[in-house]
Amino acid sequence: MIRVDRRRFLQFAMLSAAGLSSVAMAGCGSDSASGELALRYGGWGDNIRQRNYTEALKQFSQAHPDILVQPEFAEYNAFQERMTTQIAAREVPDIFWIASPQVLTYHKSKLYRKLDDIPTLDLSAYAPQEVESFKIGGELNTMPFGVFVPVVRYNETFADQDGVTIPTEGPGWTWDALAQLLLDYSKNNAAKRKGLPYTPHGDLPFEAWLRQRGEQLWTEDGRLGWTVDGLASWLDWWEKLRQGGATLSISEQEGMDPDWELVGDKVLLNFGNSNHIIDEATMFPDYTFRLRPAPTAPGAASGHKFLYFPRMAIYRGIDDEKVEAAGRMINYNTNDIAMLRTVGMTMGAPVNPKIAQEVLPNANPNEKEMLAVVQSDRAVERKPRYEAPPGSSTWRTAMSRVCEGIALGRTNVTDGAKTLIDEINAGIERAQ
């Protein structure tokens, strides 16, 4: 989910090393010399996020002098690698974020402590059906601390310059209509921009495509929820754009995971997650960006909209004396606007509906775009969404490889789709 540009790579490496140092220090004892309860707090992000969260955790400790929070941040992939080491050593942070591919893997490893018996975690702002949607394995053992949805983010400045109208959600906002718009735009705009980057491996837009067609990413019983035909239809849509010159080439975007800082002024729009506008719009302050929900297929299945939750958990092995303090920390993350004012909304819209309304008046234009599109999807009826099963953690890397192979002529859509599905199913089987 986190994309690393060149400029931040060394910063991430330094953060990873700093995070490992924090682990080493935390291993020396659970409490500080002054007798405070010490909570280890693990998460991921760039140097800006680390700085903001460190400040917010400091503010929490100032408000709760008996609790010292020790942050352990790293870059996204480094965080997962470090968690693997910590799990093996049973040195898991007391509170930790959960990378989406690992939600059910960590559940299978019994890392989560249940949350709904902790008196310091207030769930009163959430409707019963919302709390139910947070549960894993029928138990409230992780807590979302943000919400995002699949979106199209477009450059309104470019659209105005080139006389392009991006439809609002409705009958005209379909996948085929968008494809035609992008093909026409790429042929006719004076600046010779392309319609969008080549990113068919984007997970949330792909999931939106599947759910509209009656399929899903994962099933309730931990299996693959999509077919060769479902995947091939998505890849065919992208091939129409790529072959028609509406996407950047892999060489133009320097790989399958383009840095937005590199390509943002070369395209009209981009698929992604609603929270990405917060960081990525700031890279091009002279442009105005807007969001649209994912296009909708004619006759789309009912309840196809979905919410994606970044989650955090309390380690099952936490000392009993720390549980209520950890509950306060999670409550601060999810139910206190003070933290949001410090860390911002890079991890999505507030999961607490009251906080989402409370932050709206003072939100900046990019934040308002995000809040509006999330609220729109949050307000409609939705069928359940299930997390990735154990053994599937590398599926997005595998999909990227297959998509690259198609673009380079090494395989075709049908064979690529079959290869990917076979590989994912084999990983799930090995993990059973």
> What's the confidence (pLDDT) of residue 34?
56
User: What is the model's pLDDT at position 259?
Assistant: 96
Give the per-residue pLDDT at 6. Answer: 37
- What would the DSSP string read from start to end of 67-84? EEEEEEEE-HHHHHHHHH
Q: CA-CA distances (angstroms) from residue 193 to 111, 156, 166, 168, 268?
A: 48, 14, 16, 22, 7
Query: For the chain, which residues make up each domain, given as ranges?
Result: 6-146+309-378, 150-304+391-431
Distance of CA 47 to CAs 18, 117, 148, Å?
11, 35, 22
> Residue 231: its pLDDT value, please?
98
Q: Which of 152, 385, 181, 377 is nearest to 272 (CA)?
A: 152
Pairing of strands 150-155, 289-293: antiparallel
Q: Which CATH superfamily is domain 6-146+309-378 in?
A: Periplasmic binding protein-like II (3.40.190.10)
Residue at token pair 């997390």:
387
Residues in contact with 7: Cβ distance below 8 Å, sequence separation at least 6, in sequence order: 261
Cα gap 247→237, rounded to integer Å: 12
pLDDT reported for residue 303: 97
Which residue blocks in 27-155 are alpha helix, DSSP H?
47-63, 76-89, 103-108, 128-134
Overall CATH class of domain 150-304+391-431: alpha beta
Q: What is the pLDDT along the chain (432 residues), one digit of tens a residue?
A: 334 343 343 333 433 434 433 433 343 334 544 568 999 999 999 889 999 999 999 999 999 999 999 999 999 999 999 999 999 999 999 999 999 999 999 999 999 999 999 999 999 999 999 999 999 999 999 999 999 999 999 999 999 999 999 999 988 999 999 999 999 999 999 999 999 999 999 999 999 999 999 999 999 999 999 999 999 999 999 999 999 999 999 999 999 999 999 999 999 999 999 999 999 999 999 999 999 999 999 999 999 999 999 999 999 999 999 999 999 999 999 999 999 999 999 999 999 999 999 999 999 999 999 999 999 999 999 999 999 999 999 999 999 999 999 999 999 999 999 999 999 999 999 998
Report the pLDDT value the prediction gives residue 21, as an integer from 0 to 100: 38
6-146+309-378 matches 150-304+391-431 in fold: yes
Strand, coil or helix: 38:
strand
What pTM did the predictor assign? 0.89
